[in-house]
Each structure stands twice: as structure tokens, then as C-alpha cells.
Amino acid sequence: METVDFLFLFKEETVEAIKISTLSGRPEDMRTGALLVGVFEKPKRTPKELKVLDKAAGGALERLIKSGDFSAKMGQCAWIYPSGATFKRLLAVGLGARDKFSPEAFRRAIGFAAREVRRIKSSDAVVALPEGSGADFPGVGDLARAAVEGFIMGAYKFLDYKSKTENSGKIKKFTIVSSAEGGELTRVRRGAEHGAVIAEAVTLARDLANTPGNDLPPEGVARVARIQARKYGLRCKVLGVPQLKRINMNALLAVGSGSSRPPRLVILEYRPKGAPTKKPPLMFVGKGITFDSGGISIKPSANMDQMKYDMSGAAAVMAALVVAARREWNRPVVGIMPCAENLPSAKAYRPGDVVKTASGIRVEVLNTDAEGRMVLSDALHYANRYKPAAVVDLATLTGACVIALGHEAMGLMSRDDDLADKILAVGEACGERAWRLPLWEEYNEQIKSDVADIKNVGGRAAGTITAGAFLARFAKDYKWAHLDIAGTAWNERDWAYRIKGAAGAGVRILAELGEKY
């Protein structure tokens, strides 16, 4: 048996670990409180690969299927309580149509199952990998990775502010059982290890974005970055107000000027072990607005409490750097997180102000709630000093992106077709879709200013695109792409492995890009 320790941890204190194990064996022999088995849609009787298991369950699975109550649609779950079996409970999990089965389908199905396991407060669970044949059927390594990601992300709850009595029923162990042996079992183990790294990174990002603004100011993000740097061998640099003034980061300073808790520029660097590499770094830049009231252009009060997640871009970047270190990528990676609170006060920046950014471009501020592009403008200029191979920025940037794409896809903008195609491909592969929007020259007309070089909003029409056009002005000297995660960074309800609250959006797409770049 192979075991991977998995910690829900971004704070310095120790928390209970979940053990993730892989095992070659038969599901019917498992001793567990919850045995999870997938069933493809519209079964007429028990699938042949589950007949021995069904016999151990006293034919309960066959009876469930024949009753017509279980159609095995994606995410449908049904508990079975067998007598005389080594497992206490059996959960039949709908996998959807066999011809549409993929790692993402399995990830979603196990996400549904994980929430069921948490609901009944089982301390452990075992999942049997589905068996199939054909060129289109996923490999065991991919399925093992998807199972771990789906289970951990689906079982997630943010409980830091709950009392101990409510913070109970933790899942302590998750095991993957399959008939794989030898090299196939090694692929299962490696897939599970990979999934654990990704799921832990998503947990880190979710925890950060779920943390209330009073407990996570810009300096708090810097503190967590230092913790991650010590733990995983990253380099961390934090620039405070004096340093930001010296390098003329006036846009970041302007956005943070209304708060008593000053802004920070947080930089994490990963360098491959061994001989120094001459490869230029891949760079990730994430918007880190730890609370966004809108500033002087104040937001409506409804749902303003959710604006603690406006630093989701920075959270994703920090988590991706952790993945780079744990997965030992062969290319240097740099993460830049411009962090600030956007609050109204006598010192806050105002509509009508003109701000000279670090690049020298002067921006007319028409709306202080368009603060994300302001802080990113300085960060994107700062990226030039690294001579990067490519830069990808992430931000909960525009409500217009939610209107355009809903909550199913990120908005992607780039001048570079190769980079854009890579992002689209890895997004499909890992279950974080993006949709490319144009950056035609005509959109620049909307952000021309009468009194400065550009203005920070271009009107209601094509609001997501004009925000991208704004950022493009500061990313001229390298390959660059922008991901607007406004629609994907917050979940309004539980569904599959998406849990209500901060989503950890962008972690998986950055991690997949970094693996392949």
C-alpha cells in the first residue's frame, strides 16, 4: 500500500491529516465505513465488473438497479446498507453516459460522493476505480488523480470560524482500490500523489479567499506567502509602502490609500533544484484586493460581504507556486501578487484623479471600483525585470464577464495565439474552462482619455474586453494572457466538487499550464 499524507494547511499551526492510499485489491474485501463504486448511466442490471461486489452486498446493488430508482445520471448517489459485508456502507455513484466518460466526469462524480461521505460523517472512504477498455477510456493514473482531486475538493468545508462542536466529523482516510498491479499500480500511485498536490493547492486558495477581510489584510497575504516559502523552499520578497514609492507603483498605492492597512507587493519565486537553468521564467500575476468596497465609487451593500474573495487571483498564484515547488517543475516560476484594500476615506483616491503608473502611463480614474486593473498595471510592468517566457494574470476583474460567460468559464484575452491555445487546451483537460474574447484594436478607442493617456473604464459595452485592452497596454514586451475569473471564483451553491464560497479558481489551469510549458 502506498500512502500520501495530505494536510489542509496554510496556517502555521498543525491540523489533522487525511491519509490518501492506493491499494491493489478487490473492493468487496475492503473494510471501510463507505465504499464508493461508479455505475454508468441507464444500467439494466448490475455491470459484470461489479457482480462479485454485489454478491458480497447480498444482491443489494442489483435490487437497487432493478427498482428503477437509480438511473446513474451524473452525480446521482444511493446508499446501500449490506449485511455481512466487510464494508459498512456502499455508495452507488452515477457516472453518467459511458461514451462521455472522462477524468473530469469522474472528478465530478467523486465530488458528489465526497459530500455524501461528509454528510454521514464517515471517517474514511474507499473508491473503486472504474474498469473499461478502448482507446478513449481514461488510464488508471488519470482516474486516480481525478478521484483524489474530486474527493478532497468535494469534501472541503471552511470551518475556521466554527466552534469545535460544529467542526466535527472529519474524514481521516481516503483509499483508492483497483485491480492494477506492477507498473499500472505505480501509475495509480503517481496519479494519486499528483491529485493530492493539486487538491491541497486548491484548498490553500479557497481558505485564503474565504478568510474575512478583517483577518487577512495585505500584510496577512504576505505572511501566508512567507509561510509557504519556508515550507516549500520558495523565495519570498515583500515590498511595503517605502519600496513601492521608490519604484513609482503609484497605481497600487492609490488603490490602497483609503485603508489604514497599507498595500503590499508580494513576490514568490521558484527555482528548479540542481544546476542553474537558463530558461526564462513563467510568470503568474494575481489581483490581491483583500476587501473591495468599491472605494469612493462604493458598491451596493447587497453581497458586499463576498468581496473578501476579490483576492482570488493572488490566492491562485500563491497556490500555483506551491505546486511548482512540490512537483519540481523544470522551469523557473515567479508569482506576483499586488495586494491592497479598496476602501473609502478622506485619504482614498477619487474619480477624476490622474495616476502616473510605474510604467509612466498616466491613467484617468473614472471609477474607483475599477481598482483591479489599476493594481495589475503596476504588477505587469514590474514583470518586465524578469524577462519572462510568458505572463498570465488572473483577476476577479469585471462583472461583465459574469454576464457574458456565466459561472462556467473564465474570460481569456491574449495577443499571442500560441499561449492562448495552450491555456484553452489545459483548461479543458483539467476541468477549468476558458473562452477567448477578442482584443481588436478598435476596443482601444473606448479607453482613450481626454485628459490622460488612458482611462480606467471604457463604458458598459464590451466591459470585459476593454478591461483586457487596458491591461494589454502594460504587457507589451512579453507573451501575455489575461484570465478574468469573476464568474468562476465564487460558488453560490454546492455542486459536484464545487463548494459554496470561494472556488479556488485558476489553481488547476495554472498548474496544468506550468506542467506543460
For the chain, which residues make up each domain, given as ranges?
A: 2-180, 216-516
Please classify residue 385 by burial: count the beta carbons closer than 10 Å to its beta carbon, then call 0-12 exposed, 13-18 middle and 19+ buried.
exposed
Structural contact between residues 349 and 365, judged by C-beta atoms closer than 8 angstroms: yes
Single-letter amino acid, residue 78? A
Which pLDDT does position 336 carry in this prediction? 98
Whole-angstrom Cα distance, residue 409 to residue 505? 10
Residues of the chain with pLDDT under 70: 1-17, 165-169, 275
DSSP letter for each residue of 189-223: HHHHHHHHHHHHHHHHHHHHHHS-TTT--HHHHHH
Tell the CATH superfamily of the 2-180 domain: Leucine Aminopeptidase, subunit E, domain 1 (3.40.220.10)
Could you tell me the pTM of the whole model?
0.94
- Distant-in-sequence, close-in-space partners of 507: CB < 8 Å, separation ≥ 6: 198, 201, 202, 205, 316, 319, 320, 323
Which pLDDT does position 284 carry in this prediction? 98
What CATH class does 216-516 carry? alpha beta
**Active site residues per annotation:** 299, 373
